[in-house]
Structure 1
Amino acid sequence: MKEELLREIIPLTPSDCFTIFSRIKSEFDFPLHHHEEFELNFIRNARGAQRVIGNHIEEIGDLELVLVGPNLQHGWFTHRCKSRKIEEITVQFHRDLFPERFLHRNQMSALRTMFERSLRGILFPAKATTALMPRLKALTQAQGFPSVLDLLTLLHELSVVKPITILSDIAFTPKESIAYNSRRIHRVMEFINGNFQKTASLEDAAAIAGMAPVSFSRFFKTRTGKTYIDTLNEIRVGNASRMLIDTTQSIAEIASRCGFNNLSNFNRIFKKKKICTPKEFRETFNASGVRTFI
C-alpha cells in the first residue's frame, strides 16, 4: 500500500490542554500522516480495517485502543471493513502537557515509560479497552479542570495495563520526536504563538534568538527540521482550523485574523497543509462529529 505522508496540523492552540473528537462514520478516508501531538485513538466496529503505525501494518478486529507518540506516521484504512457505523474517539494532546521534570517524579515513572514506548505505537489489549471504554466516552462530555484530571487518570490507568503490544520497530522511531532542548527555540516558538496574527518576520524571530537572520535560519531548521516560515504557516493554519470549527466568522475574516493578508494565499497554504480547502474543512467537521477543546 502506498499512501502520501501528510504532516497534519491539528487545531490545538498553546492555551489548550487537549482536544477530543467523537464521531460515527462509514469509512476511513484520511491519508497516512503524522503530527507533533500525542494521539489516543479508540475504534469500535471496524473489523477488517487496516492499521498502519510506523512500519507496522495489521488488519484490526472489532475493538482497539492505540496510543501514538509525536511524529510517528499512522493511519487507519477501510481495507476489508464492511461496517457503515464505525465508532471513533480520538484524543490529542500536546507533547509538553506533561513536562519532563514532572514525568521524572517517582510517581510518574509508569506514565513516562508509556510515553517513551508510544514513540513506536502501543496497542492496548481488548480486555483493558473494554474496561476503560466508559471512562473514555465520559471524557467526551467533560469540561474544564475536572476533564484534565479525568485525562490524567485515564492515562495513568493505561500506563499500568499489561500486556501491551509495541507496534513499530525501534529503527522507525522518528527523530522529530526528540525535544528541541533549546531555550532559543522555545523563546522563538513563544514569539510565534503570540504574534502569528501579525507579520512575525524571520528578522524579528532572529532578534528574539539574538542571532543574525542567516545564522538563525540554519539554526532553526537544524533544531526543528522545518524552516521558520513553514513553522509560522503551520501555527497560522492550526489557529485558522480552530476558528473554522469554533466560530461562524467568514473564511476571509479568519484568514486575516491568522496573519494571511491574501485570501488566495491562505487557501493555497491551507489546502497544502490539510489536503482540503478551508470551506471543505469546515463542512466536514460540522457534518461528521463533535470536537471539544479543553
Structure 2
Amino acid sequence: MKRIVREVTSLTDEDFFIVLNHFNAKFDFPIHYHPEYELNLVLDTEGKRIIGDSIKEYKAQDLVLIGSNTPHAWTGEDGKAHVITIQFHTNFLSDKSLTRNIMTPIKEMLDRSKLGITFSPEVTASMIERIERLTTSRGFDSLLEFLSILYDLSISRNQTTLSSASYIGSIAPFKSKRIDAINAYLYDNISRSIKLSEVANIVNMSPSAFSHFFKKRTQRSFSDYLSDLRIGHAAKMLIETDNNISEICFDCGFNNLSNFNRTFKNQKGCTPREFRSQQKLIIKH
C-alpha cells in the first residue's frame, strides 16, 4: 500500500508564486509531494512534521522550505493553527539568472531544499510579519518582497537540513568526479557488504589515502557515510513498501537485524517498527 500521494497544486503557469493563508487549519492531508517548491509557515500549534524520512516534533512557530517532489506532512491540533503556504515553480527564475553571483545563496538554498530546510527560531520569528504581509500584497512589489525573503533566508545562519540524502535520492554536490563515482557505486551496491578497500580502488587510491580524501571532502568517515546511506534507504522502504523489517534490513546491506535496529534507532530516534507506525498514524483517509 502506498502511503504517499501526489498533490495537484493550484499554481498555474502564469503565476510567479501563490500564497495560501489558512486560519483554523486542519491537518487532514496525508503525506504528499508536488513538483513545486514550498515555503511553509505553521503558527499557534505544535505536533509532528514529516519531511522525507525525517519525523520531528515542532512547537509554536515552524518555518520549512521544501524542494520539488519531496514528501511532506504536518500534524497539529485541528482548528487552532494558522498556516501560510507559499508555492512557486522550480523554473520561476531561469537557470541563467541563478548563476549570477548575487543569486548564488538562493541557488544553493534551493538545491539543498530537496532535503527540507528548517530555520532557526530567531530567523523564523523575523519572517512571520513579512510572510503575513504577502497574504494581502499584490503586484510587482509583492514579487520583490518574496525574492527578498528568499534571499534573507538563504544567507541566514543555523539552517538545518532534515531528510537524509539517500532517502531523497540526492547527494549534495561535492564538485568532485571521484565523489560522484563513489556515490554511484554505493547506491548500486547498497544491498551488500562494501569494503573501504574496494571503493578506494575505484578512484585508484590506497585505503589510507582514500580515508583521508573522503573525510576531507564529505566531513564524514566512510563508515558513517555508508551507514547514513543505508538507513536513509531503509527509511524509504519502510514508508513506501510493505516489505517486512527483516527483508528491509538485508536489502539495505545489514547482516543482522539487531545491528539494523540499533543503528536505525541511533540515527532516527526510534526503531524501524516505531518509524513505520508513526508514518501510518499521519495518514487520514
Which residue, out of 95, 110, 113, partners 1:115?
Answer: 110
SS at 2:42 equivalent:
strand
- Rounded to whole Å, the distance in 2 between the matches of 1:51 and 1:91 is 17
Q: Which residue of 2 aligns with 1:42?
A: 41
- Rounded to whole Å, the distance in 1 between the matches of 2:141 and 2:152 is 16
Tell me, yes or no, if the aligned pair for 2:25 and 2:83 is still in contact at 8 Å: no
Q: 1:222-273 CA distances to partner (integer Å, 9 max, x unpaired)?
A: xxxxxxxxxxxxxxxxxxxxxxxxxxxxxxxxxxxxxxxxxxxxxxxxxxxx
Q: 1:29-69 CA distances to partner (integer Å, 9 max, x unpaired)?
A: 1110000000000001112x110000000111111100000
- Rounded to whole Å, the distance in 1 between the matches of 2:167 and 2:93 is 24
Aligned residue identity for 1:29 = D
Tell me, yes or no, if the aligned pair for 1:6 and 1:31 is still in contact at 8 Å: yes
- Computing the radius of gyration from Cα coordinates, the structure with the larger value is 2
Aligned residue identity for 2:130 = R
- Rounded to whole Å, the distance in 2 between the matches of 1:96 and 1:25 is 32
Structure 2 alignment gaps of length 5 or more: 171-283
Which residue, out of 79, 84, 89, partners 2:79?
Answer: 84
Q: Which residue of 2 aligns with 1:172?
A: 167
Tell me, yes or no, if the aligned pair for 2:3 and 2:31 is still in contact at 8 Å: yes
Structure 1 alignment gaps of length 5 or more: 176-274, 277-294
Tell me, yes or no, if the aligned pair for 1:26 and 1:86 is still in contact at 8 Å: yes
- Rounded to whole Å, the distance in 1 between the matches of 2:169 and 2:107 is 18
- Cα 1:124–1:147 shift into 2, 3 Å: same
State the number of aligned residues. Answer: 172
Q: Which residue of 1 aligns with 2:198?
A: none
Q: 1:129-187 CA distances to partner (integer Å, 9 max, x unpaired)?
A: 11111111111111111111111001001001111110000112257xxxxxxxxxxxx
After superposition, where does 1:166-205 map in structure 2 within 5 Å?
166-174=161-169
Deviation beyond 6 Å, 4+ runs, structure 1: none
Q: Which residue of 1 aligns with 2:16?
A: 17
Tell me, yes or no, if the aligned pair for 1:3 and 1:31 is still in contact at 8 Å: no
- Rounded to whole Å, the distance in 2 between the matches of 1:43 and 1:174 is 27
Aligned residue identity for 1:51 = R
RMSD across aligned positions (CA): 1.9
- Rounded to whole Å, the distance in 1 between the matches of 2:23 and 2:63 is 16
